[in-house]
Amino acid sequence: MKRRDFIRNTGWFVVGAAVVGLPGCATDDGTAEAAPDELTAASSRFPQGVASGDPRASSVVLWTRVVPTSGTAAVCVRVQVAMTTRFDALVVDREITATSASDHTVRVLVTGLRAATDYHYRFVIGTERITGRTRTAPAATADVQVNLAWVSCQDFLAGNYGAYRQMLIDDAARPEADKIHAVVFLGDMIYETRNDISQVPIDDNFTPIAITNRDGSPRAIPPFPSGGGSRAGVNFAATVDDYRHLYKAFLADPDLQAARARWPFVSTWDDHEFSDDAWQSQANYTNDATLDEPDQPRRVAATQAWFEYVPTQLTGAGGVRGVPSQAEDFSPTSVSSAPFTAPNDDNFTDEPNNAAAIDAITIYRSLRFGKHVELVMTDERSYRSDHAIPEELTQNPVFFTPRNVVPLPLVNTLDAGRTANNNDPPDTVSFLGGAVVFPNVRKASPPGTILGAEQKAWWKETMKRSDATWKLWGNEVALLRLRIQQLGATDVSDRVVTADSWDGYATERNELLGFLRTQAIKNVVVLTGDIHSSYAGVLNDNFDAAVGIPVACELVSAGIASNSLFSTFELVTRAADPALRSLVTVDASGVGGSRFVENLNLLLLGGVQAAGTFAGAIAQGAPQEVALGAALAASDPNTNPHVRYVDTNAQGYGYAKITATQIAATITTINRPINAPTDAGPGVKRTASFVIPKDNPAGMIGPVVTGTKPFPLI
């Protein structure tokens, strides 16, 4: 099936404003349409709510999913758009058809709209309706303030979606000029597994917490329609119906529905929309180097479901003048699972099934919000190369997982491939002071990549040619280096928290940030999710240089509901050596503190000596204030000097006000979202505010923290 035929037949419509009064069609059950004043709000036909996406100055995408009254019958739906909640002056009144080919989802691109304008829309079937509100972007020359929120990582099983309810509450209290215009979603809309132990929240006694939905029902994912796949004890989505099953379950959450009905979302994906720590169409459930995990049919299934359930404009999306858009809608393709071949010189695997699976859609794109904001959205899974450190090097108890807490020199050397050591790569690589030596299997390889060659070229041209005051990068995985100093006398290498982020692809990170420096591209601010914790800091052109040059800033918000990075490290170290565990968490309950002090924050901000000093003082019975004073005195300012803020035990969202002269941003941490949700929301635990002045990334001001400050702030 050709792409245009697929689009025409599967719920994708383009409607111009002022299209009113088109001839009707019969509904699937023959019910006549009611007059507007007879319509009542109902969800039985619209169980996943409504949404809008990719707002531009004259267009926006509207979305819903309907339920047929019987089987797989097509459903006739009326979409209406107006400028008032009364819907008394319709600018769109169009009947469209939802079919089983798209799981009865419909996506409507409404064109011809006014810039920077609120619109109300609704979908109508018979006597039932569901309503949403959206907003178009300001014109490219408009000198106006733009307000964006950013979110990511909404593991349905790890917590409720109270962060969205808190966003709604917080926004209602803001002045009109400061209210959110759009939400940037940075990935992990769904999680592809339904029984992973990492998804289960636990209490302080290591007991699983039973989470309930708003209606009191258990928060659980029913079995997959196909039964799903199974590998390494994990049950994961395997077919398009399995992935649709997940979207339907996740999007049934009323707080998520309320947010999607309130604001347009600009979305990209990360790994869990397909498979944890994925690269191209490769999964990573096992750490056995003898097992290949190509999942090309699964990659296509995941892509189709994402396209059906996430409102985006891809084909015809536009972008920066002079930079051709490469975004393309999903196109069906038939592929088989096949072993990967060696990557080409751009580090992409040309194996035909992999190439076809990846080429089924292209989602990277940019959107303009007035004179001051270019929002650049990247895809950091489809084109990335394999992780730098092969699995066979990680079968060692000193690692937490194959891609986490890995030696910095080792990952840098392997990532650089044939360019390592000034294009003279070593024959072997080692760690633990040379106690463990392996052949350098990346010696002849090109350097690692996250963006891939074509997307990287597009990113560079977009950043260079955009005349917006601020270039905001919607980036999935952290760019900031998160270094952990050597952990002991026998471990002589510093480490990085995760090699699944840009710390595992430092060669390309240096290339991109160096490009900003050499091209004098100013006012780049990176909005990031993924890592289940919050950070803020300055991005240097090269974190390995003796003196780095600041070229951008990064703001990282924690996940909506996913278990925090701290909770993951705390879980992993429960059975570890006590000295190692104390660098992650300390029990200070005996001296009036918390049972689980987040010493991991101090480890990242002040180094091993600081974290160890705090743990040792607490063990000797010192009051927490005294122990912290000693720790801060022992802190190494060179640990991660570019990092201004760390909160590893958090869930929440980010918010930014962008003007001609500055970005004022706030990272909000909510109370842990494990209690039954209510209209009152989970409540705010803390906020951390920052100001980034124009033309001066090193001048980032903050954090200014309200509420309960994260350890070790006092």
Beta bridge partners of 182: 148
Give the confidence band of 392 by pLDDT, cuts at 50, 70, 90. Answer: low
The whole-number average pLDDT for the span 317-334 is 95
Report how far residue 508's alpha carbon sits from residue 294's, in angstroms, rounded to the nearest whole number. 24
**What pLDDT shows up at residue 490?**
64
Chain centroid, CA 453 distance in Å: 22
3-state secondary structure of 286: coil
Residue 292 pLDDT greater than 90, yes or no: no
**What pLDDT shows up at residue 160?**
96
Q: Where are the alpha helices (DSSP H) in 585-676?
A: 599-606, 608-619, 624-633
Candidates 525, 526, 564; CA nearest to 669 is: 564
- Residue 138 is classified by DSSP as P
519: buried, middle or exposed (CB in 10 Å: 19+, 13-18, 0-12)? exposed
Query: Of the given ranges (195-204, 213-222, 441-450), which has the lowest mean pLDDT?
Result: 195-204
DSSP readout, 300-343?
HHHHHHHHHHS----TT---STTS----B----------PPPPP
The whole-number average pLDDT for the span 160-171 is 98
Domain ranges of the chain: 1-136, 142-374+455-482+502-564+650-714
Candidates 688, 692, 687; CA nearest to 703 is: 688
**What pLDDT shows up at residue 31?**
41
Report how far residue 133's alpha carbon sits from residue 264's, in angstroms, rounded to the nearest whole number. 8
Give the confidence band of 393 by pLDDT, cuts at 50, 70, 90. Answer: low
143: buried, middle or exposed (CB in 10 Å: 19+, 13-18, 0-12)? exposed
Whole-number average pLDDT of the chain = 92
Residue 399 pLDDT greater than 70, yes or no: no
**What pLDDT shows up at residue 102?**
95
**What pLDDT shows up at residue 195?**
80
Are 367 and 184 a contacting pair, CB within 8 Å? no
Candidates 465, 464, 373, 473; CA nearest to 142 is: 373
**What pLDDT shows up at residue 400?**
54
The whole-number average pLDDT for the span 565-589 is 92
Give the confidence band of 289 by pLDDT, cuts at 50, 70, 90. Answer: low
The whole-number average pLDDT for the span 629-634 is 97
The whole-number average pLDDT for the span 72-101 is 94
**What pLDDT shows up at residue 34?**
39
Angstrom distances, CA of residue 425 to CA of 343, 384, 422, 445, 504: 19, 22, 8, 10, 17
Give the confidence band of 337 by pLDDT, cuts at 50, 70, 90. Answer: very high
Residue 264 pLDDT greater than 60, yes or no: yes
**What pLDDT shows up at residue 38?**
36
- Specify the CATH class of 1-136 in words: mainly beta
> What pLDDT digit, counting tens, does each position of 662-683 carry?
999 999 999 999 998 999 999 9
Candidates 272, 263, 500; CA nearest to 385 is: 500
The whole-number average pLDDT for the span 621-644 is 96
Are 109 and 96 a contacting pair, CB within 8 Å? no
Report how far residue 699's alpha carbon sits from residue 457's, in angstroms, rounded to the nearest whole number. 29
> What pLDDT digit, counting tens, does each position of 19-47 carry?
665 545 644 443 434 333 333 344 689 99
Query: Of the given ranges (360-369, 380-389, 393-402, 482-491), which has the lowest mean pLDDT?
Result: 393-402
3-state secondary structure of 145: coil
Residue 562 pLDDT greater than 70, yes or no: yes
**What pLDDT shows up at residue 489?**
63
Provide the sign of the torsion angle of the four alpha carbons 7, 8, 9, 10, taken in this order: positive
**What pLDDT shows up at residue 622?**
96
What's the CATH code, domain 142-374+455-482+502-564+650-714?
3.60.21.70
Angle at 34 between CA 33 and CA 39, to 5 degrees: 125
Chain centroid, CA 480 distance in Å: 15
Residue 348 sits at φ, ψ, to 5 deg, of -105, 140
Are 475 and 526 a contacting pair, CB within 8 Å? yes
The whole-number average pLDDT for the span 361-387 is 98
Are 663 and 696 a contacting pair, CB within 8 Å? no
The whole-number average pLDDT for the span 548-566 is 97
Give the confidence band of 433 by pLDDT, cuts at 50, 70, 90. Answer: confident
Candidates 447, 510, 502; CA nearest to 475 is: 502
Amino acid of residue 71: G
Give the confidence band of 198 by pLDDT, cuts at 50, 70, 90. Answer: confident
Q: Which helix (H) or strand (E) holds 647?
A: strand 643-647
Are 411 and 440 a contacting pair, CB within 8 Å? no
Percent of all residues in the chain with a pLDDT value above 70, rounded to a whole number: 92
Give the confidence band of 70 by pLDDT, cuts at 50, 70, 90. Answer: confident
Residue 398 pLDDT greater than 70, yes or no: no
Residue 191 pLDDT greater than 90, yes or no: yes
Report the length, in residues, of the chain. 714
DSSP readout, 111-128?
ESPPTT-EEEEEEEETTE
Residue with tokens 């990209």: 268
**What pLDDT shows up at residue 207?**
84
The whole-number average pLDDT for the span 74-94 is 95
Give the confidence band of 77 by pLDDT, cuts at 50, 70, 90. Answer: very high
DSSP readout, 412-455?
HHHHHGGGHHHH---SEEEETTTTEEEE-TTTTSPPP-SS-HHH
> What pLDDT digit, counting tens, does each position of 92-134 carry?
999 999 999 999 999 999 999 999 999 999 999 998 999 999 9
- Tokens in use for 85? 């909640």
Residue 644 sits at φ, ψ, to 5 deg, of -100, -20
**What pLDDT shows up at residue 492?**
74
pTM given for the model: 0.95
The whole-number average pLDDT for the span 8-22 is 73
Angstrom distances, CA of residue 261 to CA of 164, 173, 395, 418, 595: 11, 18, 47, 50, 40
What long-range pairs does 488-493 form, CB within 8 A, spacing at least 24?
488/579, 488/580, 490/432, 490/433, 490/435, 491/398, 491/432, 491/433, 492/432, 492/433, 493/407, 493/408, 493/409, 493/410, 493/431, 493/432
Are 344 and 350 a contacting pair, CB within 8 Å? yes
The whole-number average pLDDT for the span 588-592 is 93
